[in-house]
């Protein structure tokens, strides 16, 4: 019922293209996170879905209804704004009641509205604050009021535009898990915009990574993390980001391939197809997949950060910089030490250096 689809949607502001040919399908009940750096167009995509911006081209559908020409107030969409956009002159109760007044129906008399407001307020722990005004609330409480106002009417689609960015770190972590719980209990389709990969990874059932107005990759968090479609996604997701180094593909003539870079040579497994002799590639390994070993790439530790449960090492090898996440911190590694790095062949990612796209693999 509340599936969402963007079909070739483009949005231009004058000469600037905010979103270019976005095609994306969201299944009913999905928690989709639109993820990307600031200014990438993700908020524009959300605002087009909510009806606050009109697409320049393409169609947007909610359920089986094309909503391009349907006004925002008739789209059955609710939104939590980054600023919360609470009405400062109304009490918390009035704020939450607003969508019920705006979408008044015959079954929706004053008494039932009040009951719904009280129910949602209790659900979000706002019961004692109903008669306060937003100015008298803390940031976290305001955020909850904004959430309550959005869910009180049970909309078909629930949009959120960076709703956690004004909260402090601990409150943010707590609210993340509450949002997941809320999504689970409501079963409504959520579309959530953020630039924070932690929010995306922890809450999403599906992530769409956007950069420069273009969809880079969409899929579940695991796929995005484990099989990034291009160098941008590889670098954007993960902290510290994936190690990337330029190299050249070489064959031993017997069907085995390796990549030689300034730091040394790395052997590849058999799954990569479409490699050609001398192809410029970017080799990628996640910090947790690099380990200090007896043999491998020679590197020198430049900085070592100890985080208690793990150690993050920054190393240089030839012209390249690497980060290593060492979980087994029985013995701490110190800066200045020379080590050798190795990675298992199936933990290696390969991208075409010219296009930035992931090279084709044999399906596992």
Whole-number minimum distance, CB 62 to other proteins, in Å? Answer: 13
Q: Which of 27, 54, 83, 198 binds other proteins (CB under 8 A)?
A: 83
Q: Determine the interface stretch with other proteins among 6-14, 80-88, 206-214, 248-256 (rule: CB under 8 A).
A: 80-88
Task: Collect all residues with Cβ–Cβ distance below 8 Å to 148 and sequence separation of at least 6.
Answer: 96, 120, 121, 123, 124, 126
CB atoms within 10 A of CB 152: 23
Q: Does 131 bind other proteins (CB under 8 A)?
A: no
Residue among 92 and 299 whose Cβ is closer to other proteins: 92
Q: Which of 41, 51, 55, 221 binds other proteins (CB under 8 A)?
A: 51
Q: Burial of 287 by CB count in 10 Å (0-12 exposed, 13-18 middle, 19+ buried)?
A: buried
Q: Determine the interface stretch with other proteins among 24-32, 74-82, 299-307, 333-341 (rule: CB under 8 A).
A: 74-82
Residue among 99 and 287 whose Cβ is closer to other proteins: 99
Closest C-alpha to 75, from 155, 9, 147, 7: 155
Q: Does 55 bind other proteins (CB under 8 A)?
A: no
Residue among 101 and 293 whose Cβ is closer to other proteins: 101
- CA 234 to CA 227: how far, in whole Å? 8
Whole-number minimum distance, CB 121 to other proteins, in Å? Answer: 17
Q: Which of 62, 77, 209, 242 binds other proteins (CB under 8 A)?
A: 77
Q: Does 134 bind other proteins (CB under 8 A)?
A: yes
- CA 151 to CA 162: how far, in whole Å? 17
Q: Does 81 bind other proteins (CB under 8 A)?
A: yes
Q: Does 334 bind other proteins (CB under 8 A)?
A: no
Whole-number minimum distance, CB 75 to other proteins, in Å? Answer: 8
Q: Does 163 bind other proteins (CB under 8 A)?
A: no
Q: Does 70 bind other proteins (CB under 8 A)?
A: no
- CA 188 to CA 154: how far, in whole Å? 8
Q: Does 89 bind other proteins (CB under 8 A)?
A: yes
- CA 242 to CA 239: how far, in whole Å? 8
- CA 228 to CA 215: how far, in whole Å? 13
Radius of gyration of the chain (CA): 25
Residue among 152 and 299 whose Cβ is closer to other proteins: 152
Whole-number minimum distance, CB 14 to other proteins, in Å? Answer: 13
Q: Which of 14, 64, 102, 252 binds other proteins (CB under 8 A)?
A: 102
Closest C-alpha to 50, from 183, 200, 160, 145: 160
Whole-number minimum distance, CB 158 to other proteins, in Å? Answer: 11
Whole-number minimum distance, CB 207 to other proteins, in Å? Answer: 24
Q: Does 78 bind other proteins (CB under 8 A)?
A: yes
Q: Does 247 bind other proteins (CB under 8 A)?
A: no
Question: Residue 315 in contact with residue 302, Cβ under 8 Å?
Answer: yes
Q: Determine the interface stretch with other proteins among 5-13, 60-68, 70-78, 284-292 (rule: CB under 8 A).
A: 70-78
Q: Does 88 bind other proteins (CB under 8 A)?
A: yes
In the complex, the residues that contact other proteins under the rule CB under 8 A are: 50-52, 71-74, 77-79, 81, 83, 85-89, 98-99, 101-104, 134-135, 149
């Amino acid at each position: 019922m509340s599936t969402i689809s963007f079909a070739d949607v483009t949005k231009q502001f004058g000469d600037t293209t905010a979103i270019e040919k976005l095609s994306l399908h969201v299944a009913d009940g999905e928690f989709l996170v639109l993820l990307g750096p600031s200014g990438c167009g993700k908020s524009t995509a959300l605002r087009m879905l909510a009806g606050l911006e009109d697409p320049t081209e393409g169609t947007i559908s909610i359920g089986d209804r094309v909503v391009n020409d349907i006004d925002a107030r008739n789209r059955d969409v609710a939104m939590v704004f980054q600023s919360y956009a609470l009405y400062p002159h109304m009490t918390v109760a009035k704020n939450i009641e607003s969508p019920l007044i705006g979408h008044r129906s015959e079954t929706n008399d004053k008494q039932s509205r009040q009951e719904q407001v009280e129910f949602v307020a209790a659900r979000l722990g706002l019961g004692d604050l109903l008669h306060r005004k937003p100015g008298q609330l803390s940031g976290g409480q305001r955020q909850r009021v904004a959430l309550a106002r959005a869910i009180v009417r049970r909309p078909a689609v629930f949009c959120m535009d960076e709703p956690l960015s004004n909260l402090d770190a601990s409150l943010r972590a707590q609210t993340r898990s509450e949002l997941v719980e809320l999504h689970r209990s409501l079963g409504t389709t959520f579309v959530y915009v953020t630039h924070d990969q932690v929010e995306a990874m922890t809450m999403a059932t599906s992530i769409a990574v956007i950069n420069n107005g273009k969809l880079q990759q969409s899929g579940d968090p695991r796929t995005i993390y484990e099989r990034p479609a291009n160098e941008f996604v590889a670098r954007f997701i993960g902290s510290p980001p994936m190690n990337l180094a330029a190299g050249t593909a070489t064959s031993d003539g017997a069907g085995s391939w390796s990549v030689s870079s300034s730091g040394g040579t790395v052997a590849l497994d058999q799954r990569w197809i479409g490699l050609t002799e001398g192809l410029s590639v970017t080799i990628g390994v996640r910090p947790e997949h690099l380990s200090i070993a007896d043999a491998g790439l020679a590197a020198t530790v430049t900085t070592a950060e100890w985080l208690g449960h793990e150690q993050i090492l920054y190393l240089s090898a030839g012209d390249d910089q690497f980060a290593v996440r060492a979980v087994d911190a029985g013995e701490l590694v110190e800066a200045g030490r020379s080590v050798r790095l190795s990675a298992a062949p199936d933990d290696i990612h390969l991208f075409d250096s010219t296009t930035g796209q992931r090279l084709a693999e044999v399906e596992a």
